[in-house]
C-alpha cells in the first residue's frame, strides 16, 4: 500500500472515500449525500462503529463513499478509534478500491495528532494479510494508494512518521509469529534478527550452543536438548543515550515451537504453538521501532530461543535441574518450559548487560485466558512507578493490560521441599508463573506480562488480522520513549 498525507482531494481522481462523522453532526461539504434522508430512515446516524456506503458516478467512474460513525464528539477512546478506522478502511479495500482517501477536512471531524496517528496505524495494520505460502494464480493486483487528507500536512509529518514506524514494527512481530515452525526456529529467528538489526540500526549478538553452555544456562539448555535444532541466545542492544547509565531491559520468551515435551500437548493445543515465541516477537518488533525512531534511550533485549520437543535427551517430570542464577528447580511438568528459558535470560540480562529496570513478556500460561480472556494482557510487578509507566504505555497504544496482585501466600507456592523452586506451583497459575521468573530479577524494578490471551486472533476485526496480533510492540516502544 502507498500511504501518504495530502492537503486536497478530487472525486474524479479517487474511487473510494472514507468519511468519519460524529453522531448528531452529520454534514460534509462538496458531496452529494442525502444526510437528512439517512437520519430520517435511521440508515446512518453516526453511532460509533456504524457504516453506510453511498456510491456515486463521477466522470464515468464509480466512487464508493463509506460514512463512518465515531459516536458523539469527545466520547471515543484511542483503542476504539483505531478499530473503527481499520474496519472502515477494510470495507473500502473489500470494495476493490484502488485510490482511496480518508477525509479529515470538509466535515465535523477535523484532523488532530490523534486522528492522524490512528489513521496511519489503522490503515497499515488493517491492510495486513499473511498469505505468503498461498499460490499466486492471478496477476498481482495494482497497489492500493491511500491518502490521509488534512489541512497543513507538514504539521503532521512527524506524527505520520512515528505512526508508520510503529505500525510497521507491529507487522514485523505478526510475521514472525505467523511463520510456521519449520520456517522460523531458533537458528532462523536469530538470522532474521540480525537482518532486522542491520535494517533498523541496533546491535545484535548471537550466542550459540557452546557460549550458552559456558554461561551455565542449565534451565534453558534442559528445555533445548530434546530438539535437533540448536538453541540461540539472541541479544539486541540499542544505545540511544550512551552517556546515561540507565538501561531498560526487555526479555522475550522465544519458544519457536512447543510440543509440551514429555508432558505432551494434545494436537488441538499444539497446532498453533508456533505462536509461543510471541514474547520474543514483541521485543524484536519494539527494538525495530525504537532504533528506527532513534529514541534517546538505552535498551537491551534478550531472547532465549529454542524448541520444546521430545527425544531421548528430553528433561523429565520429576527431574531437578540447575539454573544460571544458581537456584535448583524441581520439574513438575515439562510443558511449563517457558519460565525455565526466561529465568536464564533474565539472570543474564541483569548480571551481564547491567540493565537498571527489566520487563519480561511471554505467552506463559493458559490461565491468563481465564483472567482477562482475549481483551487484555495480564501483568504483575514489584515496582508501582514502573508498572504505572507500563500501564500508560499500553494506554497510549490502544492496547489493554491488567495488573494482578502479589500476595505472600503466592510466593510460598513456588517453593519446593526437594529443590529451591518448582516450575509448577499451581493456582493462581498466571501469578505463580510470573513470580517464578521474578526470583531472578536481581531485585530490580520489574514487570512481567503474560500475553497468552492476546497474541493470537481467530478472526479479522479492527486492526487485527487472523493469526498473530503483534501485541505489545507499540507499548514497549512507548515505555522506552517515556
- Residues β-bridged to residue 100: 16, 146
Q: CA–CA separation, 245 vs 469, rounded Å?
A: 33
339 is catalytic: yes
Q: Distance between CA 70 and CA 51 in Å, rounded?
A: 10
Q: CA 83 to CA 76: how far, in whole Å? A: 11
Burial class (CB in 10 A: 0-12, 13-18, 19+), 40: exposed
- SS3 sequence of 105-155: CCECCCCCHHHHHHHHHHHHHHCCCCCCCCCCCCCCCCCCEEEEECCCHHH
Alpha-carbon distance of 257 to 363, in angstroms, equals 12
Please name the residues in contact with 41: beta carbons below 8 A apart, sequence gap of 6 or more.
none
Of 343, 122, 305, the C-alpha closest to 224 is 305
Per DSSP (E only), the strands in 327-399 are: 329-330, 357-362, 377-381
Annotated catalytic residue: which of 232, 237, 297, 339?
339
For strands 248-258 and 357-362, give the pairing.
parallel
Rounded CA gap, 399 and 393, in Å?
9
Active site residue 253: no
Residue 475 DSSP SS3: helix
Helix (H/G/I), strand (E/B), else coil: 17: strand
Choose, from 56, 79, 99, 265, the residue flagged as catalytic. 265
Phi and psi (nearest 5°) for 37? -65, -40
Q: Which three cell numbers stand for residue 118?
A: 490512528
| Positions marked catalytic | 265, 339
Amino acid at each position: 500500500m502507498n500511504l501518504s498525507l495530502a492537503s486536497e482531494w478530487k472525486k474524479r481522481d479517487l474511487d473510494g472515500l472514507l468519511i468519519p462523522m460524529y453522531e448528531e453532526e452529520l454534514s460534509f461539504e462538496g458531496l452529494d449525500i442525502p444526510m437528512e434522508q439517512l437520519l430520517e430512515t435511521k440508515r446512518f446516524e453516526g453511532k460509533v462503529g456504524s457504516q453506510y456506503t453511498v456510491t456515486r458516478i463521477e466522470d464515468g467512474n464509480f466512487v464508493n463513499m463509506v460514512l463512518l460513525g465515531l459516536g458523539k464528539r469527545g466520547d471515543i477512546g484511542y483503542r476504539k478509534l483505531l478499530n473503527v478506522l481499520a474496519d472502515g478502511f477494510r470495507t473500502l479495500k473489500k470494495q476493490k478500491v484502488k485510490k482511496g482517501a480518508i477525509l479529515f477536512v470538509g466535515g465535523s471531524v477535523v484532523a488532530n495528532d490523534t486522528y492522524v496517528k490512528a489513521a496511519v496505524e489503522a490503515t497499515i495494520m488493517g491492510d495486513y494479510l499473511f498469505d505468503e505460502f498461498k499460490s499466486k494464480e492471478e496477476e498481482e493486483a495494482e497497489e492500493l494508494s491511500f491518502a490521509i487528507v488534512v489541512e497543513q500536512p507538514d504539521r503532521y509529518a512527524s506524527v505520520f512518521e512515528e505512526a508508520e514506524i510503529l505500525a510497521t514494527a507491529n507487522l514485523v512481530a505478526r510475521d514472525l509469529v505467523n511463520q510456521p515452525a519449520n520456517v522460523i526456529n531458533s537458528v532462523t529467528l536469530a538470522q532474521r534478527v540480525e537482518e532486522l538489526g542491520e535494517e533498523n540500526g541496533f546491535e545484535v549478538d548471537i550466542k550459540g550452543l557452546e557460549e550458552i553452555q559456558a554461561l551455565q544456562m542449565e534451565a534453558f539448555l534442559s528445555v533445548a536438548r530434546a530438539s535437533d535444532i540448536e538453541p540461540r541466545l539472541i541479544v539486541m542492544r540499542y544505545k540511544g543515550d550512551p552517556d546515561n547509565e540507565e538501561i531498560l531491559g526487555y526479555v522475550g520468551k522465544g519458544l519457536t515451537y512447543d510440543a509440551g515435551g514429555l508432558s505432551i500437548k494434545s494436537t488441538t493445543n499444539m497446532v498453533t504453538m508456533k505462536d509461543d515465541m510471541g514474547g520474543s516477537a514483541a521485543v524484536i518488533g519494539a527494538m525495530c521501532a525504537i532504533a528506527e525512531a532513534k529514541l534517546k534511550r538505552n535498551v537491551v533485549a534478550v531472547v532465549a530461543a529454542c524448541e520444546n520437543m521430545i527425544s531421548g535427551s528430553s528433561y523429565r517430570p520429576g527431574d531437578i535441574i540447575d539454573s544460571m542464577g544458581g537456584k535448583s528447580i524441581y520439574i513438575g511438568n515439562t510443558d511449563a518450559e517457558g519460565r525455565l528459558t526466561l529465568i536464564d535470560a533474565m539472570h543474564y540480562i541483569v548480571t551481564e548487560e547491567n540493565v537498571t529496570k527489566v520487563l519480561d513478556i511471554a505467552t506463559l500460561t493458559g490461565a491468563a485466558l481465564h483472567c482477562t480472556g482475549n481483551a487484555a494482557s495480564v501483568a504483575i510487578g514489584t515496582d508501582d512507578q514502573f508498572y504505572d509507566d507500563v500501564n500508560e504505555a499500553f494506554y497510549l497504544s490502544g492496547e489493554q493490560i491488567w495488573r494482578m496482585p502479589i500476595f505472600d501466600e503466592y510466593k510460598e507456592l513456588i517453593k519446593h521441599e526437594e529443590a529451591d523452586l518448582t516450575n509448577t506451583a499451581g493456582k493462581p497459575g498466571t501469578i505463580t508463573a510470573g513470580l517464578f521468573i521474578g526470583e531472578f530479577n536481581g531485585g530490580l524494578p520489574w514487570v512481567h506480562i503474560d500475553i497468552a490471551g492476546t497474541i493470537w486472533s481467530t478472526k479479522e476485526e479492527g486492526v487485527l488480522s487472523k493469526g498473530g496480533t503483534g501485541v505489545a510492540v507499540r507499548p514497549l516502544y512507548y515505555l522506552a520513549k517515556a
